[in-house]
A and B are shown apart, each in its own frame.
Chain A
Amino acid sequence: AQSVSQHNHHVILSEAASLELGCNYSYGGTVNLFWYVQYPGQHLQLLLKYFSGDPLVKGIKGFEAEFIKSKFSFNLRKPSVQWSDTAEYFCAVALRGTDSWGKLQFGAGTQVVVTP
């Protein structure tokens, strides 16, 4: 069965530290990839997305992600975090195979806490 794995459930770091969140998926076909963020008390927002082309994609608020097809990975990075980046981050994969077109699956999420 298809699945999306996020490596860390909780991450605590200081302001100005670098952040990297891992995401791997298990599906051999064509996929679209996403990172969503959920700030405390708010609904899900799109951070960035990958459909095709340059595997390094840039999103909002200084986030970027790199798609490595051979590793089935789509890791999220930010060089220097701020306190306002405290949130839960979700990796998501949309399948593009003929049997499962449109199935959009999420990872378990990573709770990121940035301390002043």
Chain B
Amino acid sequence: DGGITQSPKYLFRKEGQNVTLSCEQNLNHDAMYWYRQDPGQGLRLIYYSQIVNDFQKGDIAEGYSVSREKKESFPLTVTSAQKNPTAFYLCASTFRSMNTEAFFGQGTRLTVV
């Protein structure tokens, strides 16, 4: 089945550690996105990528990094510079050249302990 897979579903990390969240899609989508969802703040865009080897900062990119070495993969690293990393992280993807909606993964809940 086609879709977006985020792993792991739950992640715990200690303060000061970097952690990488995985996002893989087999929908042949061009564009991929990372969002952070916090209560009352909706989905805030962290980074997005329209094509391989290119990505743009979203509205809250500080303390995060991404790479897009393959079309189907868009991992997000939450660095120790992110002051408040505990959140629910959502990955999405869509076609670039067609008018279609974005499809979402199931999310990763990151907790800093």
Contacts and interface: CB of A to CB of B under 8 A. Distances in A.
21 contacts: A1-B59, A6-B42, A34-B101, A43-B104, A43-B105, A43-B107, A44-B104, A51-B99, A52-B99, A94-B94, A102-B94, A102-B96, A103-B48, A103-B58, A104-B92, A107-B42, A108-B42, A109-B40, A109-B41, A109-B42, A109-B43
Given A52-B99, A102-B94, A109-B40, 20 more contacts: A1-B59, A9-B40, A34-B101, A34-B102, A43-B106, A43-B107, A44-B104, A49-B101, A90-B42, A92-B102, A94-B102, A102-B31, A103-B45, A103-B48, A103-B56, A105-B59, A106-B35, A106-B45, A108-B41, A109-B42
B40 to A, nearest CB: 7
Chain A to chain B: the 3 pairs with minimum beta-carbon distance, closest first: A108-B42, A106-B43, A51-B99
Contact of B45 (A43, A90, A104): A104
Contacts of A6: 42
Interface string B27-66: 0000101010000111111001010000010110000000
A101 interface: yes
B33 A104 contact: yes
Contacts of B96: 101-102
Interface residues of A, number: 23
Interface of A: 1, 6, 9, 32, 34, 43-44, 46, 49, 51-52, 90, 92, 94, 101-109
Contacts of A101: 50, 96
Nearest to B30: A102
A74 to B, nearest CB: 14
A90 B35 CA distance: 13
B90 interface: yes
B102 to A, nearest CB: 6
Contacts of A1: 59
Nearest to B107: A43
Contact of A32 (B31, B45, B90, B99): B99
Contacts of A104: 33, 45, 48, 92, 94, 102
A6 B42 CA distance: 10
